[in-house]
Amino acid sequence: GIAPAVHAQATIRWRLTSSFPKALDTIHGAADVFATSIKAMSGGKFEVSVHAPGELVPALGVVDAVQAGTVEMGHTAPYYFFGKDPTFAMATAIPFGLNSRQLTAWMYDGNGLKLFREFYDQYNIVDFPGGNTGAQMGGWYRKEIKTAADIKGLKMRIGGFAGQVLTRMGGVPQNIPGGEIYQALEKGTIDATEWVGPYDDEKLGFQKVAKNYYYPGWWEGGAQLEFYVNKAAYNGLSAEHKAMVENAASHAHTVMQARYDARNPAALKRLVAGGAKVLAFPKPIMDLAFKESMGLYEELNASNPHWKKIYADYSNFRRDQNLWFRFTEAQFDRYMQSAKL
């Protein structure tokens, strides 16, 4: 018999390298959700294999690998690459930035995605929002943080871009792989660490060695992940497969935030039962962090045209979002949070 043309069409097999180990099941899982959707929608004619860090590419090699076409896709937190250009950070989270819904709104209906498509073009990357953690916690501290003086000399494991703000506040950011944080905190080699939020933090057991659990994570009010697609690989896709990438990314984006939201509450309760002391950062600490963040952004505006262009749009959007959210969204939430439910 004659095989119909469609069966002769070769299956497209792509490789996606994730910056996140399988143990971070919500974040790593967003790439699995994406790949499962692509396979199902294409009837197996377009398959994306998901690889943990180190299988093909190191955790922080995602941009280089996608740029070079070593892999067709990556799933990462863009702010890891602030060393290449701090502009990357705005696609994940910057201190005192947009929250999860606001960042999604900026990407999908503001100028966010448009501006980042332009920015990423120099890296041969086409980006898609790929999940959000929601507002993260402010981390685990061996001692309570009561005044700005308590930040001076504080050795804290904290992600790169926010580390610049911590430095300006007098702290000492530390770069320690996830697997070594617990021991460093236990020994006192570091005074504090941030990670994500209850659901992920619980797995690492920090409450046993640094019980003061602060909020909010002012440097990550809504940390977005992105899917990166190599530009040539993307352009080689059919219109059908391009649309599948867009829709599967949106599905993964939605599912990942839903998983964090659904799973954090029970984890927080278990952490508190296990000895965690949940504390708000004092206002003077927040104010100092805010001042130093805005100071950093002014410097970047002056030194980096990519940053300046995107931050101008981002910061206008942020101002308007917070103007609006303070009314009905905040008041509804505040009432519910104080209600006897």
Residues from 165 through 184 that contact a second copy (CB under 8 A): none
Q: Does 235 bind a second copy (CB under 8 A)?
A: no
Which one of residues 250, 301, 308, 309 is an interface residue with a second copy (CB under 8 A)? 250
Q: How far is 159 from 110, CA to CA, in rounded Å? A: 27
Binders of a second copy among residues 186 to 225 (CB under 8 A) are 197-198, 215-218, 221
Q: How far is 321 from 315, CA to CA, in rounded Å? A: 10
Min. distance of Cβ 226 from a second copy in angstroms?
14
Task: Please report the beta strands in the chain, taking only residues with DSSP state E, as ranges in sequence order.
Answer: 12-18, 46-51, 73-76, 125-132, 139-141, 155-157, 172-174, 192-193, 212-215, 224-230, 277-280
Only one of the segments 74-82, 134-142, 160-168, 305-313 lies at the binding site for a second copy (rule: CB under 8 A); that segment is 134-142
Phi, psi (degrees; rounded to nearest 5) at 216: -85, 160
Q: How far is 136 from 325, CA to CA, in rounded Å? A: 19
| DSSP 8-state secondary structure symbol assigned to residue 24 | S
Q: Does 61 bind a second copy (CB under 8 A)?
A: no
Query: Closest CB to a second copy among 33 and 184?
Result: 33
Query: Closest CB to a second copy among 254 and 304?
Result: 254
Q: Are the CB atoms for 78 and 86 separated by under 8 Å?
A: no
Min. distance of Cβ 26 from a second copy in angstroms?
9
Which one of residues 118, 144, 180, 240 is an interface residue with a second copy (CB under 8 A)? 240
Q: Are the CB atoms for 24 and 204 separated by under 8 Å?
A: no
Q: Does 147 bind a second copy (CB under 8 A)?
A: no
Q: Does 323 bind a second copy (CB under 8 A)?
A: yes
Q: How far is 160 from 173, CA to CA, in rounded Å? A: 8
Q: Which of 91, 155, 98 is nearest to 118 (CA)?
A: 91
Which one of residues 17, 67, 92, 257 is an interface residue with a second copy (CB under 8 A)? 257
Which one of residues 92, 100, 164, 193 is an interface residue with a second copy (CB under 8 A)? 100
Total chain residues near a second copy (CB under 8 A): 87
Q: Does 253 bind a second copy (CB under 8 A)?
A: yes
